Structure 1
Amino acid sequence: MKINFAHPASVLVLSFLAVIILGTALLMLPLSHAGSEVAPLLTALFTATSAVCVTGLVLVDTGTYWSSAGQVIIMALFQLGGFGMMTSATLMGLLISGQMRLRTRLLLQAETHSLALGDVKSVAKLVLWVTLVMELAVAAALTLRFALSYGMPWDEAAWHGLFHAVSAFNNAGFSTWGDSVMRFVSDAFVLGPLMVAIIVGGLGFPVLHELMVERGSRRPQWSMHAVLTVWGSVALIVAGTLIIFLAEMNNTKTLAPLGWADKGLAALFTSVSARTAGFNAIDIGGLNTESLALHYTLMFIGGGSAGTAGGVKVTTFFVLVLVVWNEIRGHRDVEFRGRRIATSVQRQALTVLTLSAAMVSLAVLLILPLTPLPYEKVLFEVISAFGTVGLSTGITADLVPGAQAIIIALMFIGRVGVVTLAVALATNQMRRNYRYPEETPIVG
């Protein structure tokens, strides 16, 4: 098989691989480990992949196993991963030269999924501006809360605040505490800023570009992409909150010990985090079956395109919902808000969903023979890895090395995207100048 290394998709895949390898090497240095020994290769590779792919699954406790230097390396890795390797490279080029070559624009467009080639430069600038403002604002809010309300020394509060702000905005799910943010389950001044960072980072930069930069333009309406992403995200968050609240309100392992207001806060945070953020304010291993099933769906869908979230993406899911709805109504075209959705977009959405479901199914089939763990926990772990979520029922470290290797592959594929990876491995794609006669097989 011949790989087209000049294709933007190939560059993206190889860039992520290079950073993972570099991160693994750095984490294996003695200065990265809190103890005197060197971190094993599998532990370093798993952690580096999880960080670069902004997942958050870990084999060891981040706050105690890794030294201060190791934690800084991990934070730098998920900052690069969330930012997008090509976005980072382009922004550095803009800062140095102030201009952008056509090939660089194409590479960045492949990473940011910009709606037009001319939007790439403004999207890239917005990425930098939004990232810095959001991370610093959330870090400041958390620092003040940790120092003034929890009595942490200012330097310690600042470090925890910055680490969690960067992790939240990049939907990485890494925490310096072994219980994630469960200790703050009743604190809206901690969970609130984290949720804001998670949601903004997960919307996707093209949507942020449209909402912020083009807000005062002559366009009277949002684009279809922005509408599907924003309102789809709102619908998923609200539905998830209600289901979790009702399913867990009497569960003594999760929401039952909390007051009603705290139940609502914890349910909201859990719903927001389930769509690839990876933080948990309640014990994920103690969730009821209904809540686990909800998590399967939310984690698989994920967030917005070209953001820091993973999954098949909100627009993919709702485009397919519209396909089904219009088919049920007998419409010839897939219509939404007075516009037709292109057939090519429908095929792309179906391709993403099919390949993603196939990857999850294959991974489950490969891991189950390697472990005695229950099926529902293995499925949860697989979807969490593929959706770059980072939530776990607590089985990650209990998996055998072979299963952990599969999880590593899933995190990587989930970050670069199944379609991007397929294109990167394709030979020569040529558009045919002919079409075969049409035939209609029986479906259903």
Structure 2
Amino acid sequence: MNAARVSRLTPTSWGGRLREAVNTFAGRSPSRFAILVFVTLILVFTLLFSLPIATVGRSSTPLADALFTAVSVICVTGLSTVNMATHWSGFGHVLVYVGVQIGAVGVLTMASILGLVISRRLGLRAKLMAASDSNPLRLHSGPVAEGQAVRLGEIGNLLLTIAMSMVVIEGVVAVLLFPRMLLAGIPVGESALDSLYYSAMAFTNTGFTPNAEGLAPFAEDFWFLGVLMIGVFLGAIGFPVIYAIAQNLRRENRGRRRRWSVHVRLTLLMMAILLVAGAVMYIILEYNNPKTFGRLGPGDTVFQSFFLSTMSRSGGFATIDISKLNGSSLLVTDMLMFIGGGSASTAGGIKVTTLAVLFLAAMAEARGVESMDAFRRRIPSDVLRLAVAIVLWGATTVAVSSIIILQLTKAPLDHVLFDVISAFATCGLSTGLTEKLPDVGVYVMAATMFLGRVGTVTLAAALAQSQRRQLFQRPEERPLVG
């Protein structure tokens, strides 16, 4: 009887054994499984981009360029070593379009969906993995930490929200862009395809353009640029925030409202503050620069400053030559790119909530209080430790990559630092340095993009046990700090 029961529980088919192996591996280390999925996707797309059919000239793309493009696409970065509009064929552009959609879903969420497909159901392990994408605190407090942005029971709805938000938002953005492209004299078929392409690149915060001129034909079109800004912003706030807003809208229709979590409030507040602060800085620093905003009127200067502030956070679109910005503006852009957007979003960077936690900790220290409070809620100390780790590892990645690129190219520090931070933060803006890199530099930048998108904390967790309990405490002693 027991033997018969065991035989029924043990998979006998090839597919059943594969599902069991995947579930076992994913359960032991969701982070390692997610990174494995991402690496596999990059390798597959590298092979596809290397095919002659992917290029206009029907010639094989060099390995360095194919790999860099694959990483840039899957990591939704937007940097390139080739002309994305003229180098790739129709098949190549389809690869880019599909790749950014896959990459936008996120590392752990994408792994969860693949696990769902293989397992034919959204089991507990898959739910824990999807929860981790919006809750990196699982490294310290377990997969379902108290106060996480998305509850475990809502993960299925979150995954549905991810798919629906991508379809709906990209569809609306495409519909709004389509008539403007027709008015610009672009044929109907090309306008339809380009509007879909632009909408995907906006929501995924990638920044590729389907035409060789880039945004030059629409550089003064407030409607076109404004729609792109909306698409980029919605992609950058994060899927948990979109989910919370959608839930509130549904509850308002029923006469009930749900209290927004601290994560949602901090994300929206910091996004607004950084958008306005960045725009103000660009107005002050670039209003008299004849190579950028100096030739524009006051109204145009304000609008273009807000556009650049939005794109500097991860959008990647540009209406000006970034290399022409003043050094002070490049430094401001470096800071905005490094911060990035919201957690579990299509944006990169250390994330706005990380900056908010560090600011709250500094304020608590200045006031002489022990706890960090936000919106009448106490933020535990392990959140601060995670925020410090994210900033430290991010800064280390940028520093190491910058030193290597500087040694390889002998280029100016401000240009090297800008492109490296853009790669780490998966932003896509460039001073033009990336296109001129030697193959070794291309591989370094590709690794920087991968570390920035996968997340240094997730990568560190993949190389160690997900959670380690310490059963003892050492004697306490305070070193001098500051």
TM-score scaled by length of structure 2: 0.88
* 1:330-386 Cα distance to aligned partner (Å, 9 max, x none): 111112222211011010001101111111111111221111210110000110000
Of 291, 295, 298, 2:333 maps to 295
Of 269, 273, 285, 1:247 maps to 285
- Rounded to whole Å, the distance in 2 between the matches of 1:108 and 1:36 is 40
* 1:67-98 Cα distance to aligned partner (Å, 9 max, x none): 11101101111110002255356557879998
- Rounded to whole Å, the distance in 2 between the matches of 1:68 and 1:240 is 37
Is residue 185–residue 262 contact of structure 1 (8 Å, CA) maintained in 2? Answer: no
Of 176, 189, 193, 2:223 maps to 189
Q: 1:260-299 residue pairs with structure 2 within 5 A?
A: 260-299=298-337
Find the counterpart in structure 1 of residue 32 from structure 2.
10
| One-letter identity of the residue aligned with 2:180 | R
- Rounded to whole Å, the distance in 1 between the matches of 2:129 and 2:48 is 27
Secondary structure (helix, strand or coil) at the match of 1:172 reads: coil
Q: 1:311-326 residue pairs with structure 2 within 5 A?
A: 311-326=349-364
- Rounded to whole Å, the distance in 2 between the matches of 1:428 and 1:276 is 29
Deviates further, 232-241 or 396-405: 396-405
| One-letter identity of the residue aligned with 1:82 | A
Identity of aligned residues (%): 40
Report the CA distance between 1:10 and its aligned residue: 0.7
| One-letter identity of the residue aligned with 1:306 | A
| One-letter identity of the residue aligned with 1:76 | V
Find the counterpart in structure 1 of residue 70 from structure 2.
48
Deviates further, 424-433 or 237-246: 424-433
Secondary structure (helix, strand or coil) at the match of 1:348 reads: helix
Find the counterpart in structure 1 of residue 150 from structure 2.
115
Structure 1 residues 37, 220: closer, same or farther in 2, change over 3 A? closer
Answering whether residue 200 of structure 2 is matched by residue 166 of structure 1, we say yes
Find the counterpart in structure 1 of residue 84 from structure 2.
62
- Rounded to whole Å, the distance in 2 between the matches of 1:397 and 1:195 is 26
Flag structure 1 segments of 5+ consecutive residues without an equivalent.
none
Deviates further, 162-171 or 92-101: 92-101
Structure 1 residues 420, 120: closer, same or farther in 2, change over 3 A? same
Secondary structure (helix, strand or coil) at the match of 1:214 reads: helix
Answering whether residue 191 of structure 2 is matched by residue 153 of structure 1, we say no
Find the counterpart in structure 1 of residue 165 from structure 2.
130
Secondary structure (helix, strand or coil) at the match of 1:210 reads: helix
Secondary structure (helix, strand or coil) at the match of 1:276 reads: helix
* 1:378-419 Cα distance to aligned partner (Å, 9 max, x none): 000110000000100011111121111110000000000000
Is residue 90–residue 124 contact of structure 1 (8 Å, CA) maintained in 2? Answer: no
Answering whether residue 52 of structure 2 is matched by residue 30 of structure 1, we say yes
Report the CA distance between 1:111 and its aligned residue: 2.7
Find the counterpart in structure 1 of residue 425 from structure 2.
387
Report the CA distance between 1:57 and its aligned residue: 0.4
Find the counterpart in structure 1 of residue 143 from structure 2.
none
> What is the CA RMSD across the aligned residues, in angstroms?
1.9
Of 212, 218, 225, 2:246 maps to 212
Answering whether residue 438 of structure 2 is matched by residue 404 of structure 1, we say no
Quick check: which has more Rg, 1 or 2?
2
- Rounded to whole Å, the distance in 2 between the matches of 1:346 and 1:428 is 18
| One-letter identity of the residue aligned with 1:205 | F
Secondary structure (helix, strand or coil) at the match of 2:122 reads: coil
Secondary structure (helix, strand or coil) at the match of 1:256 reads: coil
Report the CA distance between 1:136 and its aligned residue: 0.7
* 1:311-333 Cα distance to aligned partner (Å, 9 max, x none): 00000011101101110111111
Of 196, 203, 210, 1:176 maps to 210
Structure 1 residues 348, 398: closer, same or farther in 2, change over 3 A? same
Answering whether residue 472 of structure 2 is matched by residue 434 of structure 1, we say yes
Answering whether residue 460 of structure 2 is matched by residue 422 of structure 1, we say yes
Find the counterpart in structure 2 of residue 336 from structure 1.
374
Find the counterpart in structure 1 of residue 383 from structure 2.
345
Answering whether residue 291 of structure 2 is matched by residue 257 of structure 1, we say no
- Rounded to whole Å, the distance in 2 between the matches of 1:36 and 1:16 is 27
Is residue 182–residue 283 contact of structure 1 (8 Å, CA) maintained in 2? Answer: no
Is residue 423–residue 452 contact of structure 2 (8 Å, CA) maintained in 1? Answer: yes
Structure 1 residues 225, 373: closer, same or farther in 2, change over 3 A? same
- Rounded to whole Å, the distance in 1 between the matches of 2:151 and 2:109 is 16
Deviates further, 177-186 or 153-162: 177-186
- Rounded to whole Å, the distance in 2 between the matches of 1:16 and 1:225 is 26
Report the CA distance between 1:245 and its aligned residue: 1.5
Is residue 185–residue 266 contact of structure 1 (8 Å, CA) maintained in 2? Answer: no
Find the counterpart in structure 2 of residue 104 from structure 1.
126
Deviates further, 264-273 or 171-180: 171-180
Structure 1 residues 428, 284: closer, same or farther in 2, change over 3 A? closer
- Rounded to whole Å, the distance in 2 between the matches of 1:357 and 1:115 is 28
| Length, aligned pairs only | 440
- Rounded to whole Å, the distance in 1 between the matches of 2:280 and 2:184 is 30
Report the CA distance between 1:37 and its aligned residue: 1.5
| One-letter identity of the residue aligned with 2:355 | F
Is residue 31–residue 108 contact of structure 2 (8 Å, CA) maintained in 1? Answer: no
Find the counterpart in structure 2 of residue 83 from structure 1.
105
- Rounded to whole Å, the distance in 2 between the matches of 1:372 and 1:177 is 32
- Rounded to whole Å, the distance in 1 between the matches of 2:279 and 2:378 is 32
TM-score scaled by length of structure 1: 0.95
- Rounded to whole Å, the distance in 2 between the matches of 1:62 and 1:370 is 24
Flag structure 2 segments of 5+ consecutive residues without an equivalent.
1-24, 136-148
Structure 1 residues 290, 227: closer, same or farther in 2, change over 3 A? same
Secondary structure (helix, strand or coil) at the match of 2:314 reads: coil
Deviates further, 289-298 or 256-265: 256-265
Secondary structure (helix, strand or coil) at the match of 1:27 reads: helix
Find the counterpart in structure 1 of residue 235 from structure 2.
201
- Rounded to whole Å, the distance in 2 between the matches of 1:257 and 1:185 is 13
